[in-house]
Amino acid sequence: MSVTKICSGVIALMALAAVSAAHAAAPPPPRDVHDHAQVERFIRACEAEWAAQDATNDTASSKVCLADDYQGVSSHAHVVNKAQAMQADPGPITVVSDTVDYIHIRFPTPDVAIAQGGETAVNKDGSRRSLIWTDTWLLRAGQWQIVTSQDSVLAKPYERAKP
């Protein structure tokens, strides 16, 4: 085996490890749970990691971001609890990426945040699936967590705005 092939293999393994490490840790919680800018950064990071879970099967962020009493409606129209939402897909992963396209966050009260967003998943075959969703976050016992959510699959994937 040539040195070039070995180096290419090592570089590929390092890149894979870096991507895995990026998804291996849950987002750090805000230092000041009453600072809306910090809370928004945390919510955006949690939402991005939760979306990526379809492609990575990494549920670390769900452990932190979902309340123990979480109940939501999945994109398959099933009511799910935290354990069900955290289950890794048992079959082969067909999603190569799932990214958040936008998030709108508002604070109707100091201890409630409503995040409404959209995301697009891309499958290995190139097909796309777009979801829109609403997540309700509560500040309880010094932690911001999702207590309920509603996901809806769009009939036709939307296109991102062209720059």
Taking only the tens place, the pLDDT of each residue in 43-66 is 999 999 999 998 998 888 889 999
Rounded Cα distance, 24 and 39, in Å: 21
Q: What is the DSSP letter of 43?
A: H
Q: Are strands 112-123 and 95-109 parallel, antiparallel or unpaired?
A: antiparallel
Buried b (16+ CB within 10 A) or exposed e, 103-122: bebeeeeeeebebebbbbbb
Q: What is the pLDDT of residue 126?
A: 94
| Closest to 113 (Cα-Cα) out of 16, 9, 38, 40 | 40
Could you tell me where the beta strands, DSSP code E, fall in the chain? 66-73, 79-81, 95-109, 112-123, 128-140, 143-153
| Closest to 139 (Cα-Cα) out of 108, 113, 105, 103 | 113
Q: Are 111 and 97 in contact (CB under 8 A)?
A: no
pLDDT surpasses 80 at 123: yes
CA distances from 86 to 68, 74, 121, 134, 149 (A): 11, 12, 18, 18, 14
Rounded Cα distance, 141 and 65, in Å: 14
Residue 131: pLDDT band (50, 70, 90) is very high
Of 2-6, 24-28, 91-95, 133-137, which range is least confident? 2-6
pTM confidence score:
0.80
Q: What is the pLDDT of residue 92?
A: 81
